[in-house]
Each structure stands twice: as C-alpha cells, then as structure tokens.
Amino acid sequence: MDEQQLAPHVQEINQALNGTCSEEQIMKELKQYLSFGIVLKEAKRSIIRKYGGRTTEAAPKVVRKVSEIKSSDGNIELVAKVMTVDTKEVNVRGMPRSIRFGILGDETGHCPFTSWGDWEINNEDILRIQGAYTKEFRGELQINFGNNTSVEKVEGMTFDNLDVDNIPPLGAGGAREVKIEDLRPGMGTVTISGKVMDVIPKVIGKDGNERTIYGGKLADETGRISYTAWNDMGLNKGEVIKIEGAYVRDWKGLPQLNFDERCKLETMDPDAIGEISTGSDKPVSMGELQEAGTGAEDVLIEGIMLDIREPSGLIYRCPECRKAVRDNYCNTHGDVQGVADLRVKGTVDDGTGAVSLVLKRDPTVSVVGMDVSKAEQHAKELGDESVVVKLIEQRLLDKLVQIRGNIISDDFGLTLIGEEIEVVEPEREPLVEEHLAKYEEGA
C-alpha cells in the first residue's frame, strides 16, 4: 500500500486519538507495522492502543442471522419466527420465576431460545429481537433474552424465505438424514449413521457436580467427525449406530456432533454403512496418548491451534539457567541481562484431546519469518514487543497445523515440544472436519 492508500486509515487513527498524534508519525508507524507483516486492521488497533486511544473495532459484532450465531455472541439482532414456545417455572436464586423457551428460526437455520423477561411470545410470532446473547447448555447454543434485550412483535410481515416446514425440529425424529461429509456448522438437528471409532470418557465439572461425558470419532464412508455424548448412551467402540436428533453445533466455524438423552439411538448391522473412510493415518491421536498417559518420540500431531499463551513471541531468558525472565530478573539468579529468544506456547486440539505446545526457537523463527535479532530490532523500532505475538496469532491461531516433535508427560499432563510446524493449507480444509472438537465446560 502506498501513502495515498494509507492516508484515509491514517486520518481514521488520528481521529481516534483526537489528534494527539501527528499524521506524519502515524503514517511512519503504520508503515512499520505493515512492513513487519501485521495486517492493516491489527496495525491500526495497535497504534491506537499504543497512544491510549479506544479502538472502535473492539465493539462486539452484531449478528443478524441464526446461522451466524456462535457461542460467545453478546449482541444479537434478529428478525425470526417463533417455531415453538413453552413456559416453565424455574428458581432463580431462590425466587420462582416463569420463563419462556422454544425455538426460533429464520431462513438460515433455527436455534433454541430462552426468554427471562415478561414478553408475550406466541407460536408463529415474528419477532424483532435486539440485544440478545448466546449461552451454551450441554453443548447446544441457546439465544437468551435478558435485561438488555428488546423483543417486539412484527405485525404484517411475511417471512418469504422462511420455510419453517423444511427446518427440522430439535429433538429426536423428523431430522434430515445426512452423511458426515455433508455436516455443516449450525445446521441444527440431524439423523446420522456411522461407526463409533472410539469412546473416550472425560470427567467435567467440579465440587460435587462432576459428571462423565464421552468423546470420540464417528466415521462413515464419506468421512469422520468428532462427537461429544453428554450422557452415557452405552456407545461401544466398533459398533455401527444410527442417531436421530444429533445436534450439529458450531465450534470455531467447524461442525461438531453432540448427542444427549433426547436422541434416539439404534445399533445397526455393520453392513448398514459402506466402507469406512480411513482418513489420514499418519498423525497420532492425542486422545490415545492421553489414555496411555505416556510421552512419545518423534510424532506428528495434526490439530487446531486453540490458543497462544504468554509468554510467547519475543521472550528473554536468564543467561545462566535459560528460564524465561521478566524485567531482567531471574527467580534463581536475581538481576541478569536477559537474552532474547523466540518461542510459542499454546494449545493444540486434534479432536480427540488437547495438548500443551511449546514450540522451539527454529520453528518459531519459521512462523514469524525472521530470526531473533531481527525480531528484537523490529520490536524496538516499533516500541511494541507484543508485535511478534500478534504476528504469531495472525499466522497460527485457529489454524489447522501439523507439528512434529516429542511429547513429554509430567505432572501437568502431556506437552508437545514442537520441532517443526506447518500450517495446513486451506485447500485441505475438508480434513479439518476430522480435527474439530472441544469438550465443553471442563475444557
């Protein structure tokens, strides 16, 4: 981008900072961030934050269609039709309260809702909803109407594109039958058949509220998908099952299959489905390693980079013991002159389990595209050490990655010490479906 193209962005930053920073300075910094590989949007935010401004882009995104709703949305504006509605009495902090719940739909999908207010909501009503938020209950997304929500009935509106009859209701029965390769995030309730590849119990919750959920993979002739069963449904490894009322939820834009006691489960003849898709056999399964509880040498893990933790990016180490130090102070060696290094700490989830990752210097260098001294120099020029982490987040976060390295097992569980990392190219995205999955709550 040349200065002419950058000028409007510079003006925008200048306005966000109330003119406290000159356009000339902003232009200089913006160019530096961009030359470093930071995307424009992030570069703008960084400059605004650096000079104490507020970033308007941090405002929550407004969601307007049911199919776009994700787990952490806090600002939903919808026009949707009430497909079912019911009332129940609940206790909220010891007080009895009557709430309404049901299912809302628009032309893109449907979603359960819970209304905590006194709005009159009837079947077939078309509602304009503002300021609703989502919550997850047992892996299922729900739209909630609360104190800050406005709910209005829209009169005289026809929902031309809303074909309610073709949107299957939640719960068992009536759901469309699909193959694994056809699963899409947010498609709601389906009927699906497949072979149970593994059943891995996991205890979630705490303080007397523990319960066991089950995760694994379900495979048919078209692919594999991770599932979470929220009850002990008696799933057995190797069995072919048919599940009516399985719920496909959206996890970071990927489909994930959820079962619970509302589903109808049937054990099928093994020939009921075609030859099982074998997928890629090369990467090891984190779930299997966790089950074994042992480390492993020179393994390949393929999974989603779920998070990147501090301290990552440009870090400083004690020259004596190599531990990461802050402000040139080592807990063991006192005041030291920290030595710059690059690394990534984070979590990778391959659908069967998650593992902590520590990526060594060389693979981190390959991710950021510059060596330690160059990264240090750039960070100094920008006066922003977090710039390296931002670059790493941009390149790895939520991406499907292949990592080769050793897995160590200690009191903290398993840790993958990554020697090589590769971001799996988008062309191979169908593979992602094999690698989704994240358990709820205790995750």
- Provide the binding-site residues for Zn ion, judged by CB under 5 A: 318, 320-321, 330, 332-333
Tokens coding 64: 């307007």
Cβ(356)–Cβ(339) below 8 Å: no
What is the DSSP code string of 95-110? Answer: EEEEEEEEEEEETTEE
CB of 341 to Zn ion, least distance (A): 13
Quick one: 99 or 340, whose CB is closer to Zn ion?
Answer: 340
CB of 317 to Zn ion, least distance (A): 8
As beta bridge partners, residue 134 has: 143
Quick one: 288 or 320, whose CB is closer to Zn ion?
Answer: 320
Quick one: 154 or 321, whose CB is closer to Zn ion?
Answer: 321
Residue 163 CA to residue 288 CA, distance in Å, equals: 44
- 3 state DSSP class of 58: helix
**How many CB atoms sit inside 10 A of residue 260's CB?**
17
Quick one: 330 or 400, whose CB is closer to Zn ion?
Answer: 330
Quick one: 40 or 324, whose CB is closer to Zn ion?
Answer: 324
As beta bridge partners, residue 226 has: 217
> DSSP character for 428?
G
CA–CA distances in Å: residue 285 to residues 84, 144, 332: 41, 37, 38
Quick one: 268 or 324, whose CB is closer to Zn ion?
Answer: 324
One-letter amino acid at 256 equals Q
CB of 148 to Zn ion, least distance (A): 50
CB of 182 to Zn ion, least distance (A): 55
Strands 109-115 and 95-106: antiparallel
Let me know if 70 is exposed, middle or buried by CB neighbors in 10 A (0-12, 13-18, 19+).
middle
Cβ(97)–Cβ(89) below 8 Å: yes
CB of 327 to Zn ion, least distance (A): 13
- In the complex, which residue's CB is closest to Zn ion? 318
CB of 316 to Zn ion, least distance (A): 11
CB of 90 to Zn ion, least distance (A): 55
Quick one: 289 or 330, whose CB is closer to Zn ion?
Answer: 330
